[in-house]
Structure 1
């Protein structure tokens, strides 16, 4: 997997950049950049990694990430199959804090946007009616140009800055840019875990992939991810289990073993610790929606 530390996307001739993404799968690279990013998933499913948070994603998700917050929307494996006809679709907006000029966020009219940008250093996931209106506007401004596009962006920022319907995503912010070597290692590890979480994952083998001893790798991973490697693997497995509980009629025992757990008791315990619920009631709760 290629490594990317920063993805600077805003030309000097533009205030911001908006892109409509239509690909077989979303970019599978763990990366960060110096811009704020507003991203909506319109088609596609998979697992997202934002800061120290892991969660499955589906259409309708609207996320704002701040500068240097590493992230990855990893499409489900079926999207990488050569035989698959599935496609992903999303809209992404990149902008920096001075997109309206130096110190523009310090002006009285922009206080709400400034506060939202500050919160986005941990990532924000929006929900509710204002989120839906913002998504409609994002679709509309892809067809606009010039000042109309700028006005559309300001309307989106106004909607989101005024809502309280959001969740913080990462427990920590990442004020410093990721070093290239750290990004490269993370990409190797994340790719390996996503492809192999259904079976036993050997710490020594993963450490070897990034040319580290198991002890050094364990320390490195905990320091950079705010969780142990075993906790990370367990969280990937539980998030996949959540997806299967909601989207399939497989039994809980079948899901347990398909997601890489060796005993049902261990699966139930880890599920309860992460989701504050048991698999059975979790499934019933979502089936009732």
Structure 2
């Protein structure tokens, strides 16, 4: 079974994504993404699939996953209550390219390296940080980031944990498809502010333009340029909130060649104009009062 690539849109107001998930049952497919993920199961039980690990899970299951590690939680049998979880996702370069090289983050660095094969933490410890995770969901961006770093340090100092995947498991064995999608994501992330031609991204993957287009549409269920446009709009939203740059500057910085086209695309996907989006967010955020 090949894992499905999941595109995680960055939040415009935060360096990490923390959210509460509630569903009738966990229905996410076997998937992967370039971000780290910390998942706390508040309510539900079933089977947890991580790499080549298959284990039962129940309430207070706390798992840390490294980038591109395939995973999913699946319920087994009828569920009396809805499935609930808290999920935190973040990029490797959360605080800049070399932040993990600083001595203050040595324990966190080691833990993140171990997460390449998945880590399950002791249930007693998981229960101790449950309230902190719940409170994080309502925090403002800066407070949330500080809380997250303290939490990561606390987790990295825990002596009781279990590595989930076998020692011989490597992400490269997941599938060539997974590697290709991850490579596309990293390319777009690096070059979205410049003009990206189909021949450039196809050559990056050593594919013809036709084969690349067919591959991307089959796997992602959308065209490459639809994906690229969505990514650029997410980054534009982030800059509209976090900077005082003019809309014209933001549109060019995000790879749009003309301002009218940027406005049309923004309104099509967000249902409001860039300026209305900025004003709406600032009215909702007390930090901008």
Short-chain TM bin: 0.5 to 0.7
Could you tell me how far 1:78 is from its partner in structure 2? 1.7
Match in the other structure for 2:170: 173
Aligned equivalents of 2:170 and 2:3: distance in 1? 21
Match in the other structure for 1:41: 41
Matches within 5 A, 1:143-222: 143-171=138-166, 172-175=169-172, 178-180=175-177
Aligned equivalents of 2:163 and 2:3: distance in 1? 26
Could you tell me how far 1:9 is from its partner in structure 2? 3.6
Unmatched 5+ residue regions in structure 2? 180-289
Could you tell me how far 1:62 is from its partner in structure 2? 0.1
Match in the other structure for 2:18: 18
- Is residue 91 from structure 1 mapped to residue 82 from structure 2 by the alignment? no
Three-state SS of the structure 2 residue aligned to 1:78 is coil
TM, length-normalised to structure 2:
0.56
The answer (yes or no) to whether the contact 2:19–2:137 under 8 Å persists in 1 is yes
Aligned equivalents of 1:29 and 1:52: distance in 2? 15
- Is residue 120 from structure 1 mapped to residue 111 from structure 2 by the alignment? no
Aligned equivalents of 2:97 and 2:3: distance in 1? 32
Could you tell me how far 1:145 is from its partner in structure 2? 1.1
Aligned equivalents of 2:53 and 2:135: distance in 1? 30
The answer (yes or no) to whether the contact 1:5–1:177 under 8 Å persists in 2 is no
Three-state SS of the structure 1 residue aligned to 2:155 is helix
C-alpha change, 1:92 and 1:68, in structure 2 (3 Å) is same
TM, length-normalised to structure 1:
0.56
| Residues 142-190 of structure 1: per-residue CA shift (max 9 Å, x gap) | 11112111111112101111111100001123157744489xxxxxxxx
Aligned equivalents of 1:156 and 1:140: distance in 2? 12
Could you tell me how far 1:109 is from its partner in structure 2? 0.7
The answer (yes or no) to whether the contact 2:66–2:115 under 8 Å persists in 1 is yes
Aligned equivalents of 2:14 and 2:144: distance in 1? 11
Unmatched 5+ residue regions in structure 1? 80-84, 183-289
Three-state SS of the structure 1 residue aligned to 2:135 is helix
The alignment's C-alpha RMSD in Å is: 2.6
Aligned equivalents of 1:77 and 1:178: distance in 2? 30
